[in-house]
Structure 1
Amino acid sequence: MSHTKLPDYLFFSDTLKSASLAVTPAELHGLLTGMLSGGLKTDDGRWQPLLFDYTSEGMAWTMAALSMAEKVVTYTETEMNENDFRLSLLLPEGDSDKDLMEKSEALSEWVNHFISGLGLAQLEIKSLSEGSKEALGDLEEIGKLMIDEEDDLNEQSLLLEQVIEHVKVCVLTIHAECGVHPEPQDKKPTLH
């Protein structure tokens, strides 16, 4: 994978806010990942007008916000199409109880926007395999989860990490079936 990475959550959040966009980095990353997993190609630029319609009533974004969104799309597309089955989720970090609550809420937003991204890509849910339908059902349930502040937050933190890993598996399952995958490179014959 290239040396690029997902942008810093707080910096990205500030960039989106300064562009007057009412979308969080988690929501945006979930939406874009859903669009990619639903089969939307990025090389024709169709994703940008869909993004503008969904987030800003069709108005174009500032160059700074769009540039960061393009980096997120490129990074995510590259990461999902590699053979090591990894997926990064753009979620806030931190160790405090407040950070845990924010991360839990951001995961819910990420998942719900991922599902919206599948819709924007016009994914035919009826045509999914049973495995992908099950993964989508799991994501729908995860999108409703919230941490109860009355519970043991250390235990909740561990459970949240397990849920995040399950989200990744569900997303990669759907992407493996429906996402756009690069064409295999033709290998040139070896000359002896």
Structure 2
Amino acid sequence: MSDTINYDEFNRQLVQNKIGITAAELHGFLSGILAGGNHDESWRSLVKDMLNNGQVFDASLDEQIKNLYHLTKQQFFNENFEFELLLSSHDLFAQIDDLVGWVNHFLLGIGLAQPKINRLKDDVGEAIYDLRQIVKLGYDESDDEQELGFAFEEIKEYVRITAMLCFDEFNETDISPTIH
């Protein structure tokens, strides 16, 4: 497994296979499933159903999706907070669009893993509410790009931390052995 995913190449594979989702959106979906506590093989069926009407993927694309899933899982479990969002490195507007798509699909993934997530009232419930507001974000291409870039970085970091918060809430992350 590779330690990185080439965003542009992965997007090309998705387009070539007529999958109507970006690499950012797929990463958001997988991140939501993992953050919601789903770690069994059912994630594969969820992805196939969502992306390909339940059909098997091309072997190369299937391998890329598995790599992305395992890399994301590894990042979530890493104690150094290495989890990162997979977003385009193109212009700011493409990155903003990717972030909104990522968040939207994260909410879909976590909602499938945690169907009662709407009922949470604590920090996680508030964070989910915030993510729903982020999905509604818009911009005008005439906006000051420096200010927009600063706001984007702040929101991206908030989304990253929120994903880790959700992961911590719905996953057993204490992997140290119990001493009796």
Q: Give the TM-score taking structure 2 as reference length.
A: 0.91
Q: Hey, what's the Cα distance between the residues in 1 that align with 2:81 and 2:115?
A: 21
Question: Computing the radius of gyration over CA atoms, which structure comes out larger, 1 or 2?
Answer: 1
Unaligned runs of 5+ in 2: none
**Deviation at 1:83?**
1.4
CA gap of 1:32–1:131, structure 2 versus 1, over 3 A, is: same
2:147 matched to which residue of 1?
155
3-state SS of paired residue (1:173) = helix
How many residue pairs get aligned? The number is: 180
CA contact (8 A) 1:38 1:123 kept: no
Deviations 1:11-49 (A, max 9, x none): 0001111122111100000000000001111xx421111
The equivalent residue for 2:128 is 136
* 8 A contact 1:91–1:106 mirrored in 2: yes
Partners of 1:6 and 1:143 in 2: how far apart?
Answer: 26
Residue identity (%): 31
Any unmatched runs of 5+ in structure 1? 188-192
Pick one of 71, 93, 100 that aligns with 2:89: 93
State the shift of 1:82 in Å.
1.5
CA contact (8 A) 1:40 1:180 kept: no
Partner of 1:21: 19
Please point out which of 46, 52, 67 is paired with 2:63: 67
Q: Please list the CA deviations of residues 86-113 of structure 1 after superposition, one character each: whole Å capped at 9, or x if unmatched.
A: 321110003xxxx111110010000000
Pairs within 5 Å for 1:1-192: 4-41=2-39, 44-94=40-90, 99-126=91-118, 128=120, 130-179=122-171, 181=173, 183-185=175-177
Between 114-123 and 19-28, report the one with greater CA deviation: 114-123
Pair 185,71 (structure 1): closer, same or farther in 2 beyond 3 Å: farther
**C-alpha contact 1:132 1:173 (8 A) present in aligned 2:** yes
Q: Secondary structure at the match of 2:41?
A: coil
Q: CA RMSD in A?
A: 2.0
